[in-house]
Each structure stands twice: as C-alpha cells, then as structure tokens.
Structure 1
Amino acid sequence: MRTEHTRSIQTISHSTEIINSFFDEPSQKMFSVRRLSCRVDVKRQLFIVTIENADNPSKFQVIPYAELTVCKDKVRYLVNPTHQYPDLEDSLPSINTSIEKTVCDFIQKYSPVANV
C-alpha cells in the first residue's frame, strides 16, 4: 500500500488536526495526537503523535513520536516509539495507553463532514 503523505514538517503542520493533547507526568512531556485531515474514510484514518518541545516552541520544529492506524478494531503502530525513544522506556505504557484511548475515542465518535 502506497501512502500519499509522510510525516514531514509540512504535512504535520498543514495537513493534520490535533484531536487531543496530554501531559505525561513521568516523562514531563506534552504530547499531541493528530489526525491526517485528508483521510475521510474511517477505515483509512492515520494518526501522528508529536512531542511538543517546550525548550524550542518553533513552528518549524516537529518531533514525531509515533504513527498509528486502526485495523479490525485494533490500534496498530506503524512507527513504534519503543525503538525510537528508549529513554522513555519507563513512561511508554502510560503514554501509549493515553494515545490509544484518544484514538479509540475518536474512531467511535467519528463521522466525516459532508462536502457541500
């Protein structure tokens, strides 16, 4: 399957919408769960999670954390943070639980806006 969008700075800043943000106490980091806006079909939703950088709040610096989709009612990590962020190993269960809950809640409530 070919993906038409990647997690570039432009895609994340211009083609996603934030569906939830949360602060993780153990890691002291703010996470934003974003949805790729151009995907309308509930079965083709793509979620990109970013870490907000409090040290450098520039619009041009994006720190991707994970990329997820939902397949057969299960959240699947396309880009798994376990391999990218070993320093967050102790916090991963709580972070990932918050992300997965956000994604599941969004999918349950999702109804695409009709183009008029």
Structure 2
Amino acid sequence: ADIVLPSTSSYETGGTVVDYKGRLKRLERAIEPIGGSKTHREILKAVAKEMGTGMEVAKTADVKKAVSGFRVETRASEFRKREDLIFKPGEFMESANSVMINGSRLLWLREIESSVAV
C-alpha cells in the first residue's frame, strides 16, 4: 500500500538544527503550513499513537544540554584541481534542476492529482 504523509516544508516548520560548527541554531517558521500538512514531529507522534506507544517531545533546554559538548572540527584543506573530473555547466544545471523538480512538493501533488483524475 502507498501512504502519503503530507509534511511541511522547511519554510513551514520551526525548530532547532546544529550547524557544521556544532552551534545550535533556532529556525523560525516563515509561513503557516499549507493545507493539511503536518510537521515531522506531529506525523511521528500520530504514527506512534496509532501503534499504541507514546513519543516524548524534547524540550529546548534538553536539546541544548545534549548538544553542549558536541563540537565539529573544521579545518581548511588545500584546494587541488582534479584533472579526472570534467565539469560541464549545462549538464550540471540540467541535473540540478531535475533533482529539484523530482524532490519538490509540486511533483508529488501533480502525481496525486493525475492518479485521482483517472
């Protein structure tokens, strides 16, 4: 069976992330969720509830405490051009656009609309 879980985009979700330097960053929601979409947390809580188990939600203070000792070491390395790589800007852009379209919410909506219309 196929299941579609309409999750929010990164613009519709607030929360925290740890950046590449190990710093905790707060993300603010830019727009309200569209349609019936839910955050990943809301989806996981609902699935856990349906499975008969609970899911604890971490508090910001707990997250800060958990990552307080977490550090990512960054160091610059010398840039060396690899002669075995051939870069073709046109092919790169076509590939990047394809990935963006195939991973976007619009493609999912288009597929759902076409399957419902049949």
Bin the TM-score by the shorter chain.
Answer: under 0.3
**Larger Cα-atom Rg:** 2
| TM-score between the two structures when normalised by the length of structure 1 | 0.22
Structure with greater helix percent = 2
Structure with greater strand percent = 1
| TM-score between the two structures when normalised by the length of structure 2 | 0.22
